[in-house]
Amino acid sequence: MTIKSFLILITSLISLSLFADPNKYPPASLKNPRETFRYFLKTMKGYKLGDKEALPMATLALDLSRFDSATKKISGENAAIKLVNSLDRLEYINYENLPLKVDGKYWVYRKNYIPINNKNIDFEISLTKGEDNKWRFSSATLEKIALFEQYIKNKKVVEGVKELTSWKENLKKKMPTWTGERSFLLLNGQWAALILLILSAFLFEKLMRFLLLSFLINTLVKKRIQIDKALKEKLSFPIALIFFTLTWITGIRFFEFDDHLLRWFLRGGHIIFTSGCVFAAFYLVDYFCLFLEKRALQTESKFDDILLPLIRKSAKTLVVAVGIIAIGDSLTLDMKGLLAGMGIAGLGISLAAKDTLSNLFGSFTVILDRPFRIGDWVKINNTIEGTVETVGLRSCRIRTFHNSLITIPNGLLTNASIDNLGMRRYRRLSTNIGIQYDTPPEKIEAFCEAIRQLILNHPHTRKDNFQVYFNSMGDFSLNILLYVFFDCPDWSVELNERHRLLLDIIRIGKEMNVNFAFPTQTLHINKEQEVQNEQKLEPESIDQYARELSLKVSQSNFTPESKRSSKNDFDI
C-alpha cells in the first residue's frame, strides 16, 4: 500500500466517523481558501450520506450575490451539486496543499478550457474574498459550472471519494445521449421535460378546478343558496391560474436551469400565482357574502343589511391591498421601504384626507350606534327626508319621496340630528274633525263616544292612549280632536289603517246624521221678526236667568266626569 493510498484510507475513515452524526460539521469560518474547501466538501459529504440539511449549509461557501433573490436558494443548491460533481472528477483534494493565506482577494484553484462548438471557453474554479473577510467560490465559477460539469461528467470519480447519487443523477444517466445536447438555450432533455410539465399542469388545473367548483357549488346548494352563473365563471379562471402555476413552480425547480432562465420562469410563476390568489380571494368574498345574505334573511334585525355591504367592501379592499404588496414583492420591488415611506407620510396623508377618514369613522358610528337601518324613514337635520337605501364606507344614500337619491357623507352623520321615523313603534294621527254648528250637543257627545268605540275595535290602534273630545269652536265648524296612535310596521300599512279609520268615522257620521262642516257663509234674513219672537230680558233679571240656566244644564249634563283616553276607562 502506497503512502497516498494509506492517507486516502485514513481520510475516509475519519470522514465516516465524522458523518456518523450528520449534524457534526466544521464551523463556516471561511477565513481562508483551505477552510472554505474543507467546509464545502465536508458538508457535501454529509449530503451524499443522506443529510438533506447539509446542502443548504454548503451554499454558505458560495458567492450567490449575482443570483436573483427568488432563485438564490434553488440555483445555489444546484450550483453546489454541480461543483462537487466536478471536483470529485478532477482529483482527490488534500487540504494540506491548499493555502492558509493569500495576497489579495482572489485565488484560482484550477483553470481549464471547455471546448464547445469548436470553441474553447475559459473556465476556472476560483475563490473571492468578500467584504465580511470570508472566502467563497466566486460567482464566475458558478456561472459556468454547469458547462464544466457537462464537459467532465463522463469521467469517473477519483479514488477515495464517495460519488453523489440521487434519483436525478440516476435518471440523467439512463437518458439517451441526445437529451444532453443543447438546442436554443436549453438541453433537449429540458425541452422535453418542460413540455411534459406544461401538459401535466394543464391536466392538474382542469381536475382541481372541476373538484373545487363542484364542492363549492354543492355546499351552497345544500344551504339553498342560489349562485350566479357569471360569478361561477369569474372564479373558474383564477382557480385555473392557481393550480397551473402551482404545478409549474413545483416542477420547474427540478430542471436545473441556469439562473438567468430560472429567475424568469420562477418569478413569472410567482407573479401569476399571486395574481390568481388575489382574484380568487376577491371573488370568494362574494361567495362568502352569499352565505351571509342567507343568514341575514333569517334574522328579523335589519342591522345585517347595513353590515353586509361594509363587510364585502372592506374584505375586497383588504384583498386588493395585500395582493398589491404580494405582487410588488414578486416583482422585487422594495415593499418594506414603500410601507415604511407610507408610514412616514401617513400624518400628511391623514391631514390631507381628513374628510375621508371622517367618513370612514362615520361608517363605524353607523354600524356601532345604529341610528337607522336600511329601509327606515329618516329625517336628517330636519332638511333631508327619505328612506335609507344603502350604507357604504364613505357615504349613505337616502331615497327621497320625490324618488331622487341624496348621498350624505358618513362624516356628517356623527354630529347630525337624525329623526328615525322608521323606528317608531306607534305612528300618530292628530287631526280635527269639523262638524256643523247646528249639531245638537247630545249628538256631538254621542258622535265622540262612537269614535272612541271605533278606535277600541280597530285592530291596529293603540288602546291605552287616545283622545277624542270636542276641542274648539272654529270659524266654520265645531272641532272634535282626534288623537290616536297606530301600531304599524311601516308607512304603507299606516296609510292603509288611517284610510280605514277615517272612512269608518265618515260612515258613523252618516248613520247619525252628523254633517261635516266646510267653509261657508250664512246670510240671515227677517232679523226683526226673530228678535220679536225671542224672550225679552230686563236688565235686572239677566244675572238671575244666567244662574238658573247654568244650574239646569250642569245638573242634567250627559258627559261623564272621568276621562276616556284608554281602554281601561271604559266599562266594556
Instruction: Report how far apart the first and last C-alpha atoms of the chain are (Å, whole number).
Output: 129
pLDDT over 90 (residue 430): yes
What pLDDT does 396 receive?
86
Strand partners, 186: 183
| CA separation for the pair 435, 444 (Å, rounded) | 9
Which cell goes with 259?
439562473
pLDDT over 80 (residue 13): no
Which cell goes with 237?
379562471
pLDDT over 80 (residue 170): no
* SS3 state of residue 539: helix
pTM for this prediction:
0.51
| CA separation for the pair 242, 275 (Å, rounded) | 8
pLDDT band of residue 18 (cuts 50, 70, 90) is very low
pLDDT over 60 (residue 127): yes
- Asked if 312 contacts 320 with a C-beta cutoff of 8 angstroms, the reply is no
Q: What are the tens digits of pLDDT across the range 148-167?
A: 888 888 888 888 888 887 76
Q: What are the tens digits of pLDDT across the range 534-564?
A: 555 566 565 565 666 666 655 666 666 666 6
The number of residues making up the chain comes to 572
User: What's the Cα-to-Cα distance from 200 to each of 195, 252, 262, 265, 273, rounded to whole Å?
Assistant: 9, 12, 19, 16, 17
User: What's the Cα-to-Cα distance from 281 to each of 258, 286, 316, 323, rounded to whole Å?
Assistant: 34, 9, 8, 10
CATH class of the structural domain 426-521+564-572: alpha beta
pLDDT band of residue 221 (cuts 50, 70, 90) is confident
pLDDT over 70 (residue 338): no
What pLDDT does 421 receive?
82
> CB atoms < 10 A from the CB of 156, how many?
8
pLDDT over 90 percentage in the chain = 15
Segment 407-431 shows an average pLDDT of: 83
Q: What are the tens digits of pLDDT across the range 255-307?
A: 777 777 777 888 888 888 888 888 888 888 887 877 777 776 666 555 566 66
What pLDDT does 560 receive?
67
| CA separation for the pair 455, 508 (Å, rounded) | 12
| CA separation for the pair 453, 561 (Å, rounded) | 18
114 sits in the region (left: phi over 0; alpha: psi -120 to 50; else beta) called beta
> CB atoms < 10 A from the CB of 135, how many?
25
| Closest CA relative to residue 420, chosen from 377, 464, 358, 459 | 377
Span 357-423: which CATH code?
2.30.30.60
- R_g (Cα) of the chain, nearest Å: 47
| CA separation for the pair 366, 371 (Å, rounded) | 6
Average pLDDT of the chain? 79
- Asked if 20 contacts 51 with a C-beta cutoff of 8 angstroms, the reply is no
| CA separation for the pair 248, 263 (Å, rounded) | 13
Helix axes 259-297, 188-222, angle to 10 degrees: 0
pLDDT over 70 (residue 47): yes
* SS3 state of residue 461: strand
User: What's the Cα-to-Cα distance from 90 to each of 49, 125, 156, 157, 158, rounded to whole Å?
Assistant: 21, 11, 9, 8, 7
